[in-house]
Amino acid sequence: MTTDSKPISDQMLIDGEWCGALSGDRIEVENPARRTIIATVPRARTEDVDAAVRAADKAFEQWRKVAPRDRGKLLHEIAVVLESQIEEMAQAIASETGNAIRTQARPEATAAADIFRYFSGLASELKGEQIPVGDNMLSYSRREPIGVVGAIIPWNAPVLLAALKIAPALCAGNTMVLKTAEDAPLGVLLLARACNEVLPRGTLNVLCGYGHECGAALAEHPQVRKLSFTGSTNVGKSIMRAAADRIAPVSLELGGKSPSIVFPDANEDWVVDGIVSAMRFTRQSQSCTAGSRLLLHDDIFEPFLEKLAAKTAALKMGDPLDEATDMGALINKKQYDKVCNYIDEGLSLPGARLITGGKPDSEGPFSKGYYTRPTIFADASNDWRLAREEIFGPVLVAIRWRDEDEVIKMANDSHYGLAAFVWSRDIGQALRTAHQVEAGWVQVNQGIGQLPGQSYGGVKQSGLGREYSLESMLDSFTHKKSVTVKLDIPNPTSQNKPNT
Ligand code: NAI
Ligand code: MG
């Protein structure tokens, strides 16, 4: 690693104040496309977590009392501030994550503003119900906030994922301590700045730090009443264990190994484009919803792959800040080594046939950053490690199938169940398949990103709970309290009548 001339020195947000860690320690933030240090941020540990949680707990007393429509108005103001900062935000995201500015970082900054706008309009929907139990009793329910939410996010879409936790949690009247990912804190700190311009102090606190220190301390903090985590399945399990100690509710958005099922009538260019999009090649496939298992019908296997190889090879890999770039660099050395290991494994497997891509450049401009090209292995078997484990890099495996029952069995033979994609002109066949696939989200004939309003999340080891929707805000960030009232209490005058 080298150091850029002057790395910016960012602070974190506790109780409305920008501050460093109590220890004074800092974490370096690297631009993964250039391998330069672009910033340093505080390295928060237990004592900083404690200060942030105490601030959020104190702020909760007031924030919960703010009328929902007024909370909604403030979220709307944040959306307006975010909209005025899209370019600054996009530059920060592209620089720290390696995600290309045109295809990824700018759309992410825009989507974060949209998320705040969407939830700002939902504040009045925090409604309860009245239950008909007869004329002698009134029974109703209230949606109440839970308290301090501890949120932990990863680096792959940091600003979007932060927005998806902050906006619904605060809309529902909770306060929050959010831990940024150590690899990508800068965009989220800009988001925190926008929030802090608008919100009362302590309502949102944003920490920087490592998972095993800051993240674990947040997950274990007794005053954190709800945990919302996005990241790897293994860390998700540790969050759930920490929550079990105090029976705190958890929401988990975890990994995936999502199938993309192509029927024989779908050997067409638009499907090939759809597979490229579903595989999220332009974010180096660092996406939990990546359609990374291509289940391709035997009849069209070779011609389809030929087209797919040509399309992926045409993607322009380059500096994330260059507008012409389609696809940037992987996040860090650890992920780069992990992805390279999978590519090496594919190259050494006797049955695997490399269609495009392969080992990354060891010299030339792309060797200066964590660049890996789209790589496709054909003739894969569904039980290979390459077909079972989440690679989180641009490595796609193509598996042959002949029979509809067989392909559904293969699709479901995974401990994950996040997303799935089905491609066919026969809508009956496509929907039959969609209904049988074990996944939280199935797309038919498209491979786009999540939309506000859609309840999104996984089954099996891909997670617990949903995000992105009104229903998810109610389920994840409120408690339902029932109040039952006796309506026919005896009249005091008749009861207290003295005996005569
Ligand atoms: P990770 O799960 O370790 O990190 C995600 C977040 O959790 C970060 O903020 C990290 O600091 C925090 N964290 C780590 N250990 C923790 C702990 N013990 N307690 C509390 N918080 C903790 O993911 P990582 O290491 O960045 O990536 C590893 C793999 O995870 C990837 O290759 C990919 O397979 C998967 N992943 C999945 C994501 C998704 O969106 N589902 C996002 C990022 C990674
Ligand atoms: Mg980085």
* Ligand 1 pocket residue status of 215, Cβ below 6 Å: yes
Single-letter code of the amino acid located at 326: D
- For 370, residues 6+ apart whose C-beta sits below 8 A from its C-beta are 32, 33, 35, 98, 329, 330, 331, 332, 333, 335, 336
pLDDT > 50? residue 28 = yes
pLDDT > 70? residue 468 = yes
Task: Work out whether strand 148-152 and strand 226-230 pair parallel, antiparallel, or are unpaired.
Answer: parallel
What is the structure's pLDDT at 9? 81
Q: Which H or E run contains 191?
A: helix 186-198
Q: What is the DSSP letter of 123?
A: G
* Ligand 1 pocket residue status of 469, Cβ below 6 Å: no
Please give the class, per CATH, of domain 259-444.
Answer: alpha beta
Helix (H, G, I), strand (E, B) or coil at 232: coil
What is the structure's pLDDT at 2? 45
Q: Which of 99, 160, 235, 395 to mutate to test the pocket of ligand 1 (most atoms within 8 A of CB)?
A: 235
Mean pLDDT of the chain: 96
**Residue ranges covered by each domain of the chain:** 2-254+458-483, 259-444
Q: Whose CA is nearest to atom 13 of ligand 1?
A: 211
* Ligand 1 pocket residue status of 429, Cβ below 6 Å: no
Active site residue 288: yes
Q: Are 342 and 375 in contact (CB under 8 A)?
A: no
pLDDT digits (tens, 9 = 90+) for 200-247: 999 999 999 999 999 999 999 999 999 999 999 999 999 999 999 999
Q: Judge whether 2-254+458-483 and 259-444 match in fold.
A: no
Q: What is the pTM of this model?
A: 0.97
Q: Are 239 and 250 in contact (CB under 8 A)?
A: yes
Single-letter code of the amino acid located at 44: A
pLDDT digits (tens, 9 = 90+) for 303-361: 999 999 999 999 999 999 999 999 999 999 999 999 999 999 999 999 999 999 999 99
Q: Which CATH superfamily is domain 2-254+458-483 in?
A: Aldehyde Dehydrogenase; Chain A, domain 1 (3.40.605.10)
